Amino acid sequence: MNNLLELLKQQVSAIVLDGESEHLFEKNNALNQFYPFLLSILKAKPHFIEAFQDQLNPKLSELFNSNPAIKQEFLSMVSGEAPAHEIEQTLSKAIGPVLGFLQIEAGSASPEAVSHLIETHQASVFEALPQWASAILAALGINTAAGQTVHQSPELAPEPAAVEEKKSSSWLPLIALLILAALIAFWFKSCSEEKAAENAAAVQPAAAQPALLQLSTNAKGDLSSCQINLNNASYLEILQKEVKQIFNYPIGCGALTDSAYHTQFIDQDVIPSVLRLVKGRSNISLQWIGDQLSIQSSDPAAAKRLAAEIKGLARNMHVQVQQANPEVNTAVDNSITDAQKALASINPDQIRALDVATALNIQIINFGSGSSEIPEANKSILDQAAALLQRASHVQLTIKGHTDSSGNADANKALSLKRAESIMNYLVQKGVDPAQLKAEGFGQEQPKADNATPEGQFQNRRIEFEVLNTETGKVREVNNQGVVETASK
């Protein structure tokens, strides 16, 4: 049986949030909390189903019997940092699509069929209810333990002398419930961090790779590279919009949606706030994977300050500062300088394809962890190579991606191919004939060094270039031993 709430998150949230640009995370989280709350009300009070079906634009306030105190208490729990009125508009906008979805799933528009559908998923609905929701539902006369309205014993008609007394005390139960709801909500809110810590690991499927967010800023504090690996297309789209908006980075992040990855991040509701902290800080690299958040900077003091600020937000993440490896940085810088010299020495009137491949293989393309975003430092080399390849149309170039052995083998193979394709697509954008290019991904299958050491892993994360001269049929690649003839086509 499909999980009704997961289907709502995937299908309805995309409709409701389409075109939104502000407070996307808060709105998405509010919707996730609203769905089990709404289903509980519709199950206990089926007359709402028919009432909402007759309206073009149902309002959230109707669920609360036009009682602003209960509604405001509910909004205070789901709004987060977003304005309550915007969250209210978003949730009101969701009611119609939710009913439409339920009718399709139930196979009928009748309130009985919709109510029966909810009842078949009652256990998962109640399990998904936020802890504070029971008190607010109780204030609305709904017992979440049974999923029904709270029934009262029949009363005899009051004696005339008691009518006035009954009127004056009729509000006491509701007031008491509101006070109880507020107290319970406050208590649950104060201990939510502890509960989140207990459940953080349970949210993630044990067999999957942790979701990954990796990004880097340049010397100006602008975003220079970004990668997201996540098995949740709708949430990925929301995160992309946040990155584009916060950093004014219209191309967004590189993305890998694969079932090998988790469907959500730990502490994902604070990711936008963390991104705002990173914005404007120069030469920062941040990696968010599982419950580990690592920060690296050329300025260790700046990295420590940023880590301290993030710790106050991401309470379930282990935030650490990693020292940059000067040997790696030096190796990358030297390789790029040497590749530039090699390309500059090629006579454009007498281009040998092997010379181009040799120069390309000299450079180290140091992709960020989990990223297929080409580092800015390598783009000038690819630009030079593209100009030369356009003048050597008889040459075919194979771009071969490799990774180290960390993580899932299938995911690594997909990532290595995506990196090779990034190089290929960049060269095509610079004018190289696509017929001259081919991308292949080998993942961790062909290591050139020992994966047991960081140095070996660094060497194994690589891009290699292989050339085929169509006039001779000889395939040649360049490695650290020199030119090697590998096969004949």
Look at residue 327 in the predicted model and tell me its pLDDT.
64
Percent of the chain scoring above 70 in pLDDT: 79
Residues 263, 238: Cα–Cα separation, whole Å? 13
Residues 469, 355: Cα–Cα separation, whole Å? 12
Residue 202 CB burial class (10 angstroms; 0-12, 13-18, ≥19): exposed
Write down the pTM of the prediction.
Answer: 0.43
Q: Residue 342: pLDDT above 80?
A: yes
283-294 residue pLDDT tens: 888 889 888 998
Amino acid at 394: H
Supply the mean pLDDT for the chain. 79
* Domain covering 212-322, topology: hypothetical protein tt1634 (3.40.1520)
Cβ atoms of 213 and 228 within 8 Å: the answer is yes
104-129 residue pLDDT tens: 888 888 888 888 888 888 888 888 88
- Angle (CA) 59-60-63 rounded to 5° is 110
Q: Residue 203: pLDDT above 50?
A: no
12-35 residue pLDDT tens: 888 888 777 788 888 888 999 999
Residues 271, 236: Cα–Cα separation, whole Å? 12
Q: What is the DSSP letter of 405?
A: S
Phi, psi of 59 (to 5 degrees): -115, 145
> Where do the structural domains in the chain lie, given as residue ranges?
4-190, 212-322, 327-488
Tell me the average pLDDT across 293-319.
88
389-406 residue pLDDT tens: 888 787 788 999 998 887
The number of beta carbons lying within 10 Å of the beta carbon of residue 69 is 14
pLDDT band at 481 (very low <50, low <70, confident <90, very high): very low
> CB-hemisphere CA count at 13 Å for 375?
20
pLDDT band at 179 (very low <50, low <70, confident <90, very high): low
Residues 476, 328: Cα–Cα separation, whole Å? 28
Phi, psi of 424 (to 5 degrees): -60, -45
Task: Pick the closest to residue 8 from 101, 130, 96 (CA basis).
Answer: 101
Cβ atoms of 287 and 293 within 8 Å: the answer is yes
Q: Residue 191: pLDDT above 60?
A: no
422-478 residue pLDDT tens: 999 999 999 989 998 999 999 999 998 888 877 788 888 889 988 875 455 554 444
217-276 residue pLDDT tens: 877 888 877 888 888 888 888 899 999 999 998 888 888 887 888 888 998 888 999 999
Q: Residue 336: pLDDT above 80?
A: yes
Cβ atoms of 130 and 151 within 8 Å: the answer is no
Q: Where are the beta strands (DSSP E) in 300-447?
A: 318-323, 395-402, 437-441
Return all residues near 471 (Cβ < 8 A) that are at least 6 apart. 394
Cβ atoms of 376 and 224 within 8 Å: the answer is yes
Residues 250, 243: Cα–Cα separation, whole Å? 9
Look at residue 144 in the predicted model and tell me its pLDDT.
66
Q: Residue 158: pLDDT above 50?
A: no
Contacts 24+ apart (CB under 8 A), 152-156: none
Percent of the chain scoring above 90 in pLDDT: 16
Return all residues near 94 (Cβ < 8 A) that are at least 6 apart. 12, 13, 16, 31, 34, 38
Tell me if the domain spanning 327-488 has CATH number 3.30.2320.80.
no
